Structure 1
């Protein structure tokens, strides 16, 4: 096929700050997770699909399948839509007090 660019399982980004492997970042309105450590202003590989264990707002009670959002200021997954970016769906429940949640991103 002449118009296929790539399979879409990774995306290249040169972040303005250093990003540690496994850390999510917003690329526009899309959440992607760093495949490896990426120095500031250097192109690196990010994954925009899949299920990842991500930090969550500790007080949130997230049910399996719930819509979740990325709070870019706090750098956590939350159930609060206001001022946050849709991140995907909770793959597993994570109750109040849990520090992380499994999220299928960008669905």
Structure 2
């Protein structure tokens, strides 16, 4: 294939804001996790597939397979869809008593 560019699991894009390694990056329809620190506008590698452990809103519980959204204001995963960006699905149950949720990124 002459038109093949890359596998696409990780994309190098300009950081839409200051981001730390392991932080969620949302740039339009690109949603993923930063592979390193970057200032706004600097190149950052963003994993758009895979499973990541992310901080969540304490009161939220996620059964396996539940949709996980990102609340940009709090910087936490949430079960609330309205006003938030869908990241993927929970791959393990995450009761309200836990601080994190394991998320398989949707890859889009």
Deviation readout 1:30-60 (Å, 9 max, x if unpaired)? 3211111123321111100100000111100
What is the number of residues matched between the two proteins? 107
Q: What TM-score comes out, normalization by structure 1 length?
A: 0.92
Within 5 A, what are the aligned runs for 1:46-85?
Answer: 46-85=46-85
RMSD of aligned alpha carbons = 1.3
Deviation at 1:20, TM superposition (A): 0.9
**What does residue 34 of structure 1 align with?**
34
Structure 1 stretches of at least 4 aligned residues deviating more than 6 Å after TM superposition: none
Matched, 1:101 2:87: no
Q: Write the distance in 2 (CA, Å) between the matches of 1:81 and 1:51.
A: 20
Deviation at 1:74, TM superposition (A): 1.1
Single out whichever of 26-35 and 53-62 deviates more from structure 2: 26-35
Task: Say if 1:30 and 1:106, in contact at 8 Å, map to a contact too.
Answer: no
Q: Write the distance in 1 (CA, Å) between the matches of 2:85 and 2:36.
A: 23
Task: Say if 2:32 and 2:87, in contact at 8 Å, map to a contact too.
Answer: no
Deviation readout 1:68-88 (Å, 9 max, x if unpaired)? 111111111111011111110
Q: What TM-score comes out, normalization by structure 2 length?
A: 0.91
